[in-house]
């Protein structure tokens, strides 16, 4: 055990002496959290709308006024020709156009229904979908108000009145704050990424510089060497979590509903997964360059599929199955459950056992492929 202590001591000496790595370990997580949480945002604001109002009546102005008042839309231009507005879409100056036909008000009062046309720039399908959703809800809103105001006087009792109205309340994230949702996930992703890279690179570095040769002729045993590598990075991972959660709370005011003991306890249990993964990668690389590309290959896939950016539930079945070996997916799921939803030990038990099993398998593989003697 004393040998492990000396190995850990040596490792920390080297880490603190490395003038490039140390700031990266500390600054990178904070920087990424700030940058990604502000930038990676699905909320669509200020959709540029062009309005063609052929009617210019009280009703049509009421409708356009509703668009102008919405935080989601910004009235970019108004014209009287479909072609002019369409050109603006072609030139990417507006995102959608709303065409209100002539006699809009008259027909609405008289007939009870009028078609309006909505044309969307759907190059970015997600944005177009959201725009259409927002626009529809505004129009629906307008309908309801208009019916309440005008139609009861005109239309007889036979008009449909007992409609189903849907109201909703958002649980766990009542204001649908995007950052509440993203920050815990991003923190989980960053910690996994840094630790996996650090471990893989560090072990390969010993091989590349030949220092492992000198270590191998000492009586250091396999398990001592591995623990000597794992413990420093394990401590660093907990430290990054601490810094990350502090930044998350202070800058983004993310909810910390669950127990922090649980968060750190789980992190401590989860980290051997990524440590083992880094170790495993290092066994198949002779140079830091090889290690970096191999680690990059896996980490990139893991990050894109971990449910941080797109929900795992909406992925195809094969992808969901593949995600069973994605450690980051477990961590991101855990972070969201505990921090946002306030899940307790009983709720994350399954996740925890999976991660423990995962760590055992990965590390067994890593130890098995690690050959102290060539």
3 binds other proteins (CB under 8 A): yes
Task: Name the helix (H) or strand (E) containing 147.
Answer: helix 125-149
Cα(221)–Cα(226) distance, integer angstroms: 9
The SS3 call for residue 364 is helix
287 binds other proteins (CB under 8 A): no
For the four alpha carbons of 273, 274, 279 and 285, in that order, the dihedral sign comes to positive
Contacts to other proteins from residues 13-72, by CB under 8 A: 13-14, 17-18
- Near other proteins by CB under 8 A: residue from 27, 159, 209, 364: 209
Q: With contact defined as beta carbons under 8 Å apart, do 275 and 199 qualify?
A: yes
Nearer Cβ to other proteins (125/374): 374
Euclidean distance between the first and the last CA atom of the chain, given in angstroms as a whole number: 25
| Structure-token pair, residue 344 | 């307790």
> 97 has which bridge partners?
50, 119
Q: With contact defined as beta carbons under 8 Å apart, do 330 and 270 qualify?
A: yes
374 binds other proteins (CB under 8 A): yes
Full strand arrangement of the beta sheet holding 117-120: 73-79, 47-53, 96-100, 117-120
361 binds other proteins (CB under 8 A): no
214 binds other proteins (CB under 8 A): yes
- Near other proteins by CB under 8 A: residue from 160, 162, 174, 210: 210
Nearer Cβ to other proteins (113/371): 371
Least Å distance between CB 235 and other proteins?
Answer: 19
Nearer Cβ to other proteins (18/369): 18
231 binds other proteins (CB under 8 A): no
Nearer Cβ to other proteins (216/310): 216
215 binds other proteins (CB under 8 A): yes
Can you give the binding site for other proteins, defined by CB under 8 A? 2-3, 6-7, 10, 13-14, 17-18, 209-211, 213-220, 373-374
């Amino acid at each position: 055990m004393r040998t492990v202590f000396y190995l850990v001591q040596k490792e920390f000496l080297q880490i603190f002496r490395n003038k490039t790595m140390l700031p990266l370990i500390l600054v990178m997580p904070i920087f990424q959290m700030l940058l990604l949480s502000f930038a990676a945002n699905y909320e669509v604001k200020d959709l540029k709308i062009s309005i063609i109002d052929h009617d210019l009546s009280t009703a049509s102005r009421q409708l356009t006024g509703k668009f102008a008042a919405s935080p989601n839309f910004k009235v970019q231009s108004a014209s009287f020709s479909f072609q002019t507005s369409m050109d603006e879409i072609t030139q990417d100056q507006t995102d959608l156009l709303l065409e209100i036909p002539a006699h809009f008000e008259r027909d609405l009062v008289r007939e009870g229904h009028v078609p309006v046309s909505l044309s969307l720039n759907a190059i970015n399908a997600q944005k177009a979908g959201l725009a259409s959703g927002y626009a529809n809800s505004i129009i629906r809103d307008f309908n309801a108000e208009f019916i309440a105001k005008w139609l009861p006087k005109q239309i007889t009792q036979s008009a449909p009145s007992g409609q189903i109205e849907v109201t909703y309340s958002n649980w766990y994230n009542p204001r649908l704050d995007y950052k509440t949702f993203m920050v815990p996930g991003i923190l989980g992703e960053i910690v996994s990424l840094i630790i996996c890279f650090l471990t893989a690179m560090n072990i390969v570095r010993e091989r590349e510089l030949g220092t492992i040769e000198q270590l191998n002729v000492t009586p250091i045993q396999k398990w001592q060497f591995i623990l000597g590598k794992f413990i420093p990075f394990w401590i660093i991972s907990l430290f990054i979590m601490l810094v990350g959660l502090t930044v998350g709370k202070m800058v983004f005011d993310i909810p910390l509903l669950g127990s922090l003991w649980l968060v750190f306890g789980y992190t401590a249990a989860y980290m051997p997964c990524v440590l083992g993964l880094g170790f495993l990668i290092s066994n198949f690389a002779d140079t830091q360059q090889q290690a970096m590309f191999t680690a990059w290959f896996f980490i990139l896939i893991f990050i894109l599929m971990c449910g941080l950016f797109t929900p795992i539930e909406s992925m195809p079945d094969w992808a969901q199955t593949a995600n069973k070996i994605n450690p980051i997916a477990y961590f991101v799921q855990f972070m969201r459950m505990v921090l946002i939803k306030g899940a307790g030990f009983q709720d994350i038990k399954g996740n925890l056992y999976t991660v423990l099993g995962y760590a055992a398998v990965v590390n067994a593989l890593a130890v098995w492929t690690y050959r102290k003697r060539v």
